[in-house]
């Protein structure tokens, strides 16, 4: 067993061995192009079609409403840029202030072409308030995009309520469900979503494949042009092995969702309780209850500038956690834009520690992490510890001895 502890599943998840097994034939043998008419092509097409059903079932969609992409980022771009282009006008996009960069950067691109962009504020817990959306909907809007769950603080948004408001104003609603897919129940019909983005590598599937749910009748223009695959919305030869892996991962996640969510939520609450109990200056970030099962974000008041040293100490001790979105790693040390939008000052917004758990994590790893954290935080200047966790010389090695 590896002595490394991986608690950064919001960045990416390890491939489930069952998923790798499903992909195997398409990595070393079945090499047909799904668009070819010969037997090899038909085998590949059948595999893609099966995976389309599996991904559709994860979110309560029809198979024909699933468009495979190369990533969740591409799915987000296709949703927003495709909706604006299909409208034939510069349009107006409304998105929350704490969206993933895939949405925010797409908004910047659209703004450069004349699209009006409105960013919805969030409260201290990271929630979009319906009254804020209602105000934005008083003017003509093309599409609203609010993520199902935030990748930095784990807050789950009231998507059903927000999307219902857009239906009253005949406006398209998109949700980036990359973090939420396979972790919480999602049903596109109950949620009133017209567009929904997913990514395989966030639910123990392979990297390099995503999907966009497009409700039947929703007008969308392509952003990639070529041979007309994926109903003309995503030209390029399909990544058959990746799509097969996505399908297998989606089916496993759907079948095991309830049990796994309960297990991970138990770990999350245990860590939160121990952190708050042992460190007087610790505080939690995000909504206290409406949050992803395996996601916990916290900081240490007065020591926010030490987060880089803390993460380095944890890494050296064999524990992988993060200071927020992996996509913002190149801006480490800068205040988190998500926390700033939630009303935190610049100092506090530098101190985020994100722990995100996954399918293969164990209670033993959780206990080891808490010991490692205690040692690492205690070594920082000015730390007060309530002293219940024993310090270990080599905690990661001791836990796995």
Lowest mean pLDDT among 5-14, 182-191, 378-387: 378-387
Question: Between 52 and 379, whose confidence is greater?
Answer: 52
**Structural domains of the chain sorted by starting position, each given as residue range(s) with its CATH number in brackets:** 5-11+257-399 (3.90.1150.10), 17-253 (3.40.640.10)
Please state, for a pLDDT cut of 70, what percent of the chain lies above it: 92
Q: How many CB atoms lie within 10 A of CB 327?
A: 14
Q: Give pLDDT, residue 327.
A: 56
- Predicted confidence at residue 397, as pLDDT, reads 40
* Confidence check: pLDDT of 274 > 70: yes
228-256 per-position pLDDT tens digit = 999 999 999 999 999 999 999 999 999 99
* Per-residue model confidence as pLDDT tens digits over 377-392: 988 876 655 544 433 3
Query: Would you say the pTM of this structure is higher than 0.95?
Result: no
Strands (E), 273-315: 282-285, 295-300
Q: Let me know how many helices (H) and strands (E) the chain has, helices first.
A: 12, 12
Express each pLDDT in 308-358 by its tens digit. Answer: 999 999 999 999 999 876 555 445 568 899 999 999 999 889 899 999 999
User: Cα dist. 76→83, 106, 143, 250, 279 in Å?
Assistant: 11, 8, 12, 19, 39
Q: Which residues of 18-53 are buried (b: 16+ CB within 10 A; e: fewer)?
A: ebeebbeebeeeeebebeeeeeeeebbbebbebbbe
pLDDT 10s digits, 68-114: 999 999 999 999 999 999 999 999 999 999 999 999 999 999 999 99
Q: What is the mean pLDDT of residues 42-53?
A: 97
Weakest-pLDDT range from 19-23, 67-71, 143-147, 300-304:
300-304
From 201, 149, 206, 154, select the one nearest 175 (Cα to Cα). 149
Q: Tens digit of pLDDT for each residue in 145-166?
A: 999 999 999 999 999 999 999 9
More confident residue, 381 or 270: 270
Catalytic (active-site) positions: 327
Per-residue pLDDT band for 399 (boundaries 50, 70, 90) equals very low
Quote the pLDDT of residue 334. 81
């Amino acid at each position: 067993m590896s002595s490394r502890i991986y608690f950064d599943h919001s960045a990416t998840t390890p491939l489930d061995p069952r998923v790798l097994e499903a992909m195997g034939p398409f990595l070393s043998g079945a090499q047909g192009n799904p668009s070819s008419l010969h037997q090899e092509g038909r085998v590949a097409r059948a595999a893609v079609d099966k995976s389309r059903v599996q991904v559709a079932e994860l979110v309560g969609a029809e198979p024909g409403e699933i468009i495979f992409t190369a990533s969740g980022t591409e799915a987000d771009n296709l949703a927003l840029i495709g909706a604006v282009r299909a409208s034939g006008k510069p349009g107006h996009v409304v998105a929350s202030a704490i969206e993933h960069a895939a949405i925010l950067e797409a908004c910047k691109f659209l703004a450069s072409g004349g699209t009006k962009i409105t960013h919805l504020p969030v409260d201290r817990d990271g929630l979009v308030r319906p009254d804020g959306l209602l105000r934005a909907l008083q003017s003509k809007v093309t599409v609203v995009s609010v993520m199902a769950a935030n990748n930095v603080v784990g807050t789950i948004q009231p998507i059903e309520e927000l999307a219902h408001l857009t239906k009253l104003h005949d406006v398209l609603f998109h949700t980036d469900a990359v973090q939420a897919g396979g972790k919480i129940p999602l049903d596109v019909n109950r949620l009133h979503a017209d567009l929904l983005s997913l990514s395989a590598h966030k639910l123990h599937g392979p990297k390099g494949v995503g999907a966009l749910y497009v409700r039947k009748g929703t007008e969308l223009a392509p952003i990639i042009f070529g041979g007309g695959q994926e109903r003309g919305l995503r030209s390029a030869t399909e990544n058959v092995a990746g799509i097969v892996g996505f399908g297998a991962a989606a089916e496993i996640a759907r079948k095991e969702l309830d049990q796994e969510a309960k297990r991970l939520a138990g770990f999350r609450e245990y860590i939160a309780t121990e952190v708050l109990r042992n460190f007087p200056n610790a505080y939690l970030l995000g909504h206290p209850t409406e949050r992803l099962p395996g996601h916990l974000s916290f900081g240490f008041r007065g020591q926010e500038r030490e987060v880089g040293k803390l993460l380095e100490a944890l890494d050296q001790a064999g524990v992988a956690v993060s200071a927020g979105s992996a996509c913002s790693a190149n801006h480490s040390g800068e205040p988190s834009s998500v926390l700033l939008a939630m009303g935190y000052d610049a100092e506090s917004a530098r101190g985020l520690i994100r722990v995100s758990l996954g399918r293969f994590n164990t209670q033993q790893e959780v206990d080891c992490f808490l010991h490692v954290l205690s040692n690492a935080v205690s070594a920082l200047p000015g730390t007060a510890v309530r002293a219940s966790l024993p310090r270990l010389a080599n905690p990661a090695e001791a836990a796995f001895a």
